[in-house]
């Protein structure tokens, strides 16, 4: 392992504190924490300086309810401490405890979110089923980090975060360079794995990072310790993942290219898969739109075009309240589908495009925008608690329409945009957007997500002629909490970025 990746190894003493009120479980009046036999805590290097492996003696794992650790912020930092809870079930699944005879044994587990090149101060708390606790104070010095992801720890800080909270403290960045990366709101890189060359299609599940392979039909499960294993998709028609991976109804919503009957169906298939790559359900947008258009009296042959990127899905999310999926077609619109039947409920998009101008069957499904701008070339859908639709409104006209077909409007700047949708009246209103002095134009990729009510993280993936990415935190009034810039080649540095709760993360 490269020396720059190494964590300085250490074996550290710990202090024992026993919670008051712990239930005594034997004749000697000792709590489970007192009887656990925990001694010194040992630390070993992880895959990167942001990760370490801790271990200590432990007699009875069955009495452990959870283990928590807290990484103290660096001096002068405003981001909250990284706080992670590892529940008994999560520890059991990874075989964290090794029994060694009747009165001995040991437990080992990863800690992640460390600062590189820093003496990290950790508080490690083991909570037992009787309520008693063992608390260890651990110092972990780490080495410097070098590698493709190093740029995430060296942003151009156009505006530094102050003491006021932007509504979140950590960001998960999906990218075309490496595994997903975690960055805090002070601009410090706090986690990255090794061995993966991109993470465009990725998310954090309940227990690990999951990454869809952009070049093959593989789903990678990347543990928080940086190791990963791969599962082959159960459907041999799927050639590769593209764009987003999102939580679905029963698994993950993923977007695929599909090879079938010697034909490549590009970026128009959504499927729900489980963590092992088994396909649970599929929505073939080519079939759905052909059937809908024919039922409405239209010939779909010049709209749905196999072998051509006619749809270009880039975001698909599940709306649990409506049992529906919402899909962003960069070429056309946002469409809402019934989860069970795949029937189209509505379409929201630019009426100056081919789909609206030339096809009455699709025009009949369109929402009428009564206020504000329509979405154009949009990315990164999400549904807010108040049922409004949030997205990044890129502003780039269609790129793959048939010859002579209307491509729609082009804008000169991009915005995060929020829409209130009334399905009864078939209308939509753009109720909020941020124009950023109309100077920020990110025509592809990019995202916006709400961190707390009316507080947002906005990722501009391709500014300055696609050579720069920016991460900006702001509120609904337009007040900017921080602004970080990074060098980029097209969308590689930041494809999407969303708030990540490393300050209150539970591994179940």
Domain containing residue 80: CATH number: 2.60.40
Shared-domain flag, residues 84 and 225: no
How many structural domains comprise the chain? Answer: 2
Shared-domain flag, residues 346 and 417: yes
Shared-domain flag, residues 137 and 192: no
Shared-domain flag, residues 219 and 365: yes
Q: For 492, how many CA atoms within 13 A lie in the half-sphere containing its CB?
A: 12
Shared-domain flag, residues 278 and 427: yes
Shared-domain flag, residues 43 and 113: yes
Q: How far apart are CA 178 and CA 137, in angstroms?
A: 33
pLDDT of res. 21: 41
pLDDT of res. 19: 40
CATH number of the domain within which 328 lies: 2.120.10.30
pLDDT of res. 101: 62
pLDDT of res. 26: 52
Element (DSSP H or E) covering residue 292: helix 285-295
Shared-domain flag, residues 102 and 181: no
pLDDT of res. 17: 40
Residue where one domain finishes, among candidates 141, 167, 193 = 141
Q: How far apart are CA 76 and CA 336, in angstroms?
A: 46
Residue where one domain finishes, among candidates 141, 162, 191 = 141
Residue where one domain finishes, among candidates 141, 176, 193 = 141
Residue-wise DSSP of 395-432: -PPPSSPPTTS-B----SS-EEEEEEEETTTTEEEEEE
Token pair of 222 as six digits:
């990347």
pLDDT of res. 137: 97
Exposed e or buried b per residue across 386-418, where buried means at least 16 C-beta atoms within 10 angstroms of its C-beta? eebbbbbbbbbbbebbeeebbbbbebeebbbbb
Shared-domain flag, residues 136 and 152: no
pLDDT of res. 6: 39
pLDDT of res. 29: 84
How many Å is the maximal CA-CA distance in the chain?
A: 87
Shared-domain flag, residues 274 and 393: yes
pLDDT of res. 129: 97
For residue range 93-115, list pLDDT tens digits in order.
Answer: 999 999 976 557 999 999 999 99
pLDDT of res. 100: 78
Structural domain boundaries enclosing 176: 148-403+410-507
Q: For the chain, which residues score pLDDT lower than 70?
A: 1-28, 101-103
Cα 14 from chain centroid (whole Å): 35
Shared-domain flag, residues 302 and 174: yes
pLDDT of res. 104: 75
> Chain-wide mean pLDDT for the chain?
94
pTM confidence score: 0.94
Shared-domain flag, residues 179 and 80: no
Q: Are 502 and 85 in contact (CB under 8 A)?
A: no
Token pair of 150 as six digits:
């190093």
Sign of the CA dihedral running 51, 57, 59, 63 = negative
Shared-domain flag, residues 137 and 162: no
């Amino acid at each position: 392992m490269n020396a720059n990746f190494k964590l300085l190894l250490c074996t550290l003493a710990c202090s024992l504190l026993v919670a008051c009120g712990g239930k005594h479980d034997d004749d000697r009046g000792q709590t489970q924490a007192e009887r656990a036999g925990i001694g010194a805590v040992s630390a070993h290097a992880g895959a990167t300086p942001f990760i370490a492996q801790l271990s200590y003696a432990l007699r009875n794992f069955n009495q452990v309810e959870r283990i928590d650790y807290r990484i103290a912020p660096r001096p002068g930092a405003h981001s909250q401490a990284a706080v992670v809870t590892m529940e008994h079930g999560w520890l059991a699944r990874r075989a964290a405890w090794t029994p060694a005879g009747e009165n001995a044994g040991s437990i080992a587990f990863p800690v992640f979110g460390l600062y590189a090149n820093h003496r990290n101060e950790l508080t490690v708390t083991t909570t037992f089923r009787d309520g008693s606790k063992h608390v260890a104070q651990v110092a972990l010095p780490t080495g410097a980090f070098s590698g493709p992801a190093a740029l995430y720890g060296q942003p151009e800080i156009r505006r530094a975060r102050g003491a006021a909270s932007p509504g979140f403290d950590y960001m998960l960045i999906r990218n075309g360079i490496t595994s997903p990366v975690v960055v805090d709101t002070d601009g410090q890189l706090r986690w990255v794995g090794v061995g993966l060359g991109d993470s465009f299609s990725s998310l954090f599940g309940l227990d690990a990072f999951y990454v869809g392979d952009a070049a093959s039909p593989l789903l990678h499960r990347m543990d928080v310790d940086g190791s990963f294993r791969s599962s082959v998709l159960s459907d041999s028609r799927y050639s590769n993942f593209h764009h987003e991976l999102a939580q679905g109804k029963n698994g993950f919503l993923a977007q695929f290219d599909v090879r079938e009957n010697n034909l490549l169906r590009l970026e128009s298939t959504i499927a729900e898969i489980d963590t092992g790559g088994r396909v649970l359900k599929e929505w073939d947008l080519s079939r759905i739109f052909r059937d809908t258009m024919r039922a409405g009296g239209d010939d779909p042959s010049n709209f749905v075009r196999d072998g051509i990127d006619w749809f270009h899905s880039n975001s698909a999310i599940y709306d649990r309240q409506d049992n529906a999926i919402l899909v962003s077609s960069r070429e056309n619109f946002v469409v809402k589908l019934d989860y069970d039947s795949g029937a189209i409920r509505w379409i929201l998009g630019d009426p100056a495009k081919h789909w609206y101008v030339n096809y009455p069957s699709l025009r009949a499904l369109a929402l009428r925008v009564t206020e504000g701008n329509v979405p154009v070339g949009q990315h990164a859908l999400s549904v807010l608690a108040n049922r409004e639709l949030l997205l990044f409104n890129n502003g780039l006209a269609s790129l793959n329409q048939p010859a002579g077909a209307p491509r729609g409007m082009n804008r000169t700047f991009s915005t995060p945009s929020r829409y209130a949708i009334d399905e009864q009246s078939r209308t939509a209103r753009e109720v909020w957007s941020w124009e950023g002095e109309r100077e920020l134009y990110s025509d592809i990729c990019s995202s916006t997500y709400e961190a707390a009510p009316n507080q947002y993280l906005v990722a501009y993936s391709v500014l300055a002629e696609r050579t720069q990415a920016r991460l900006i935190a702001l509120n609904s009034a337009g007040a900017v909490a921080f602004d970080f810039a990074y060098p980029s080649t097209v969308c590689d540095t930041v494809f999407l970025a969303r708030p990540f709760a490393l300050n209150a993360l539970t591994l179940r």
